A and B are shown apart, each in its own frame.
Chain A
Amino acid sequence: MTDPVLSVKNLSTHFFTRAGVVKAVNGVSFDLARGEIMGLVGESGSGKTVTGFSLLGLVDAPGRIVEGSVKLNGTELTTLSQRDLRKRRGSDISMIFQDPIATLNPMLTIGQQMKMAIDAHERLGTRAADARATELLTQVGIPSAAARLRAYPHEFSGGMRQRVAIAIALLHRPSVIVADEPTTALDVSIQAQILTQMRDLAAETGTAMIWISHDLAVVSSLASKLAVMYAGRIVEQGPTATLLRDPRHPYTAGLIASLPAMAKPGTPLTQIPGTTPSLLSLPLGCPFAPRCDHATNRCKDDPPMTHTAGRGYRCFHPTGQTAKAPA
C-alpha cells in the first residue's frame, strides 16, 4: 500500500470559552490516499467543519489544537509556524467554503483574485498567470473563461461563483482539498453538475478530497469512503457502500433510516429521539447513549474505535452483526 497523502491521528481541537471547554473535535483519526474522496458527514455542531479548519491550521482563539497530529505528505502540520503553514495553504492543501459570496472579494475581478492566489506561491508573469487561470476556469466548466477573468463576482450566478472558488482552490494542484458543504447553498441541478465535475477532477488530477456535508445522499454519490461524526468524534468510518448498506453504529443506522427515501410515502419516518448534546457538557461515556435504543450500563464507559475488515466503529453494541459479512 502506498503512503497516504494525509494522515490524521487523534486530532483534538478544543475551544476555551468563558462558559467552559467546548470539545469540538475529540480524537479524530483517518487516512486519505491520493485521488481519494472521503465524505465527512454529521449534523450541525458535530465538529465536521472544525475538523476541516484544524487540518489547515485555521482555528482561531479561543480554540486550539490540543492534541494529535496532521501529516501532509509526511510533514507534520500542527507544529509548523504560521509562516510555514501559510506556504502550504493554497499550494499543498486548500479549502472550498460553503458560501462563495463570502469567499470572493467583491471589489476585485476574478482575474485579479486568481492572480493574487498564484502570486502567493509562484512567480508567474501576467500572461502566464492569465493562461493558468483561464485553463482552470475552463476545467471547472465556466464558458468563455478568458473573457470572464475581467468580470466581478456579482456578475456570476451562485453556481458559477462556487466554480470560481473551486478553480482557485485547484490553482496549485494541491494534494488535498477540504470542501466544506460547497454545494449546500446551490440548486440541485447545479449541484449535480458540480458533483460530477469534482469527481472527474479528483480522478484526473490525483487531488484527494475531504467532502464535508450533512447530506448522506450527496456524499454517497461522490465519496468512496465515509466518516460519520457525532459530538466531536468519528463514530463510524469505512467504505461508502459497506457503511450505508450495513451500518454498525446505531447513530449511522438511525440517520439512514430517518431519510424520507427509506420509508413508504405517507408513513411515519423512523426518528432518532432527542437532540444532539451540548459540547460543553457531554455525557460521560458514549455521547450517543442518551438517544440510543441499544444503550446499556456499559455505555457509561467510552467505547473505543473497533477496527474490523477495513472499517471502524465506536460502539459496544453494534447493529447489523447478523447481516452478511461486508464484501
Chain B
Amino acid sequence: MTGFVHIDDVARIFGPNLTTGERIAAKLGGKVETRSVRAVSDVSLSVRKGETLGLVGESGCGKSTLGRVIAGILPPTSGTVTIDGTPVMENGTKITTRVQTVFQDPFASLDPRMKVGDTVSEGPIAHGLTTKANARTYVAEWFTRVGLDPVWVDRYPHQFSGGQRQRIAIARALAMQPDVLICDEPVASLDVSIQAQIINLFLELTRDLGLTTVFISHDLSVVQHVSDRVAVMYLGRIVELGPVANVFGTPAHPYTKALFGSVPKLVLDADELVKFDTIDGEVPSPLSPPSGCYYHPRCPYATEVCKAEQPQTEDLSDVRAVACHHFQRVLDSTKDVRAVPE
C-alpha cells in the first residue's frame, strides 16, 4: 500500500453522559435516553506521504470529528488510525507526537496568559526536542519560518492580530516536528486579504517540510487550491473521494455536485446574475438519519433502492471512489449540462 496515514474502518459515536443512577436504571431495564450520534461511521481511507487531503462537508457532517480522531485528540469508538504502521492511540491515549493540529480559532487556541514563545516551546521541551536552555533559539527558528519576528517571543497573544496568531499556532504545531498535520478550518476566521497570506505560508511549509496534511474546510475554493485529493463527507460518511480535479470537475455523487452548485462564484463575465443549483431541504438530524443512502431525501436521482440500501463504495476508473447507486447517471448528466435528472 502506498498509504502513509491509514484510517481503518473508523467510527465515532457520541452517546449521552449517563449518571450513575441512570446507568443502574438502564441495567435494570429502566427507560433511559440512550440515543447516540454516529458522528463518523465506517470511514476507511489512506493518505499518501507528502499529500494534502482535503476534507469537505457542511457543519455536522463529521469532518472535524474525523480530523480529531486522526490527530489522536478523540479516541475512535471502533477502528484504528496508524501513521507509517504505528498506531496514533493506545487505550484511549495519544502515544505519538508525529501528528499535530492547527485549529480554526487562533483566539481560542492560544493560552492568553502564556507568552507566545512559551506556548511554542512547551511541547518540544516536554518531548526532548529541545532543552530549556536552547528553547529561545529553537522557538526563534520556527518564528522566522512562519514569518514572525523572533523578538516577539515574550509577547502575549492579545498583542497579535488574527493572522499573526494563526502563524503562532502553526509554529506551535510545527515545532513538534510532526510528519502529519491536521488543519481544522485554519483560515475560516481570517479576513480575505490575510487568508491568502496564510494559505501561501501553508503551501510553502508543507512543500519544504514534506508534510502529510489533512486540510478540513467548508470553503471549497480553499480546499481546491491546497489539496491533491479531496474527500466529501455527508452525515458521517465519505460519499466521494478522489483527485481534486476529478471530483471538482466531474462530480460523481449527487451531493458533491449539488454542493458545488451551491457555492457562490465570483462572476466576472455574466451581466446577469448567476442561478444557484440549490439543494432542497436541510441536512437531517444525525440522531435519526434516514434509511439506506443518507442523502436520498434530498437527492433528485433517488429511486426505491436508495431508500432501502446503503450504497457500497465503488472504485471508478479515474482513481476515485464514490458511494452512490446512481453515480453513472450523475456522471452522464454532468457531461451533458443540459440533461436534467428525471
Closest to A254 in B: B193
Q: Which residues of A contact B200 (CB under 8 A)?
A: 268-269, 271
Cβ of A269 and Cβ of B196 under 8 Å apart? Answer: yes
Q: Which residues of A contact B195 (CB under 8 A)?
A: 258
Q: In the complex, which residues 230-283 of chain A have their Cβ closer than 8 Å to any Cβ of chain B?
A: 240-241, 244-245, 254-256, 258-263, 265-266, 268-272, 275-276
CA distance A222 to B258 in the complex (A): 19
Q: Does A7 contact B (CB under 8 A)?
A: no
Cβ of A216 and Cβ of B59 under 8 Å apart? Answer: no
A259-B266 contact, Cβ under 8 Å, with A187-B59, A189-B259, A269-B225: yes
Cβ of A199 and Cβ of B273 under 8 Å apart? Answer: yes
Q: Which residues of B contact A215 (CB under 8 A)?
A: 192, 264
Closest to B187 in A: A260
Q: In the complex, which residues 48-93 of chain A have their Cβ closer than 8 Å to any Cβ of chain B?
A: none
Of A192, A259, A266, which one neighbours B192 at CB under 8 angstroms?
A259
A interface, size bucket: 35 or more
Q: Does B244 contact A (CB under 8 A)?
A: yes
A194 to chain B, nearest CB (A): 9
Q: Does B221 contact A (CB under 8 A)?
A: yes
A271-B58 contact, Cβ under 8 Å, with A196-B276, A261-B221: no
Cβ of B58 and Cβ of A189 under 8 Å apart? Answer: yes
Q: Which residues of B contact A221 (CB under 8 A)?
A: 264-265, 267, 273-274, 276
A2 to chain B, nearest CB (A): 22
Q: Which residues of B contact A192 (CB under 8 A)?
A: 261-264, 276-279
Interface residues in B, total, Cβ within 8 A: 46
Interface centre among A240, A244, A258 (most CB of B within 10 A): A258
B289 to chain A, nearest CB (A): 15
Q: Does B114 contact A (CB under 8 A)?
A: no
A217 to chain B, nearest CB (A): 4
Give how many A-B residue pairs fall within 8 Å (CB-CB): 133
| Per-position 1/0 for B195-220, Cβ under 8 A of A | 11101100110000000000000101
Q: Does A284 contact B (CB under 8 A)?
A: no
Cβ of A266 and Cβ of B203 under 8 Å apart? Answer: yes
Q: Which residues of A contact B274 (CB under 8 A)?
A: 221
Cβ of A187 and Cβ of B58 under 8 Å apart? Answer: yes
Closest to A160 in B: B282
Closest to B220 in A: A188
Cβ of B263 and Cβ of A188 under 8 Å apart? Answer: yes
Q: Which residues of A contact B266 (CB under 8 A)?
A: 216-217, 220, 244, 256, 259, 261-262
Interface centre among A196, A215, A269 (most CB of B within 10 A): A269
| Per-position 1/0 for A208-222, Cβ under 8 A of B | 000000111110111
Cβ of A275 and Cβ of B161 under 8 Å apart? Answer: yes
Q: Which residues of B contact A153 (CB under 8 A)?
A: none
Q: Does B313 contact A (CB under 8 A)?
A: no
Q: Which residues of A contact B271 (CB under 8 A)?
A: 241, 327
Interface centre among A188, A244, A254 (most CB of B within 10 A): A188
Q: Does A151 contact B (CB under 8 A)?
A: no
A269-B199 contact, Cβ under 8 Å, with A192-B262, A216-B192: yes
A189-B279 contact, Cβ under 8 Å, with A220-B264, A241-B270, A260-B221: yes
CA distance A154 to B269 in the complex (A): 42
Of B59, B204, B221, which one neighbours A259 at CB under 8 angstroms?
B221
Closest to B263 in A: A188
| Per-position 1/0 for A154-177, Cβ under 8 A of B | 000101100000000000000000
Q: Does B224 contact A (CB under 8 A)?
A: yes
Cβ of B224 and Cβ of A265 under 8 Å apart? Answer: yes
CA distance A190 to B258 in the complex (A): 12
CA distance A327 to B268 in the complex (A): 13
A188-B218 contact, Cβ under 8 Å, with A195-B276, A258-B192, A270-B196: yes
Q: Does B342 contact A (CB under 8 A)?
A: no
Q: Does B226 contact A (CB under 8 A)?
A: yes
| Interface of A toward B, CB cutoff 8 Å | 43-44, 157, 159-160, 187-193, 195-196, 199, 214-218, 220-222, 224, 240-241, 244-245, 254-256, 258-263, 265-266, 268-272, 275-276, 327
Some 25 contacts from A to B, beta carbons below 8 A apart, are A44-B191, A157-B282, A188-B58, A188-B218, A189-B279, A189-B282, A192-B263, A192-B264, A193-B279, A195-B264, A214-B192, A215-B264, A217-B263, A220-B266, A222-B273, A241-B268, A258-B193, A258-B196, A260-B221, A260-B224, A261-B224, A265-B225, A266-B203, A268-B203, A272-B193
Q: Which 9 A-B pairs have the closest CB atoms?
A: A192-B262, A258-B196, A260-B225, A43-B191, A187-B58, A192-B276, A269-B196, A272-B193, A271-B196
Give 13 new A-B contacts, CB below 8 A, not counting A188-B262, A192-B278, A214-B192: A157-B282, A192-B262, A222-B273, A241-B269, A244-B267, A244-B268, A260-B221, A260-B222, A260-B225, A261-B266, A266-B225, A271-B193, A275-B161
| Interface of B toward A, CB cutoff 8 Å | 58-59, 161, 163, 191-197, 199-200, 203-204, 218, 220-222, 224-226, 244-245, 258-259, 261-271, 273-279, 282-283
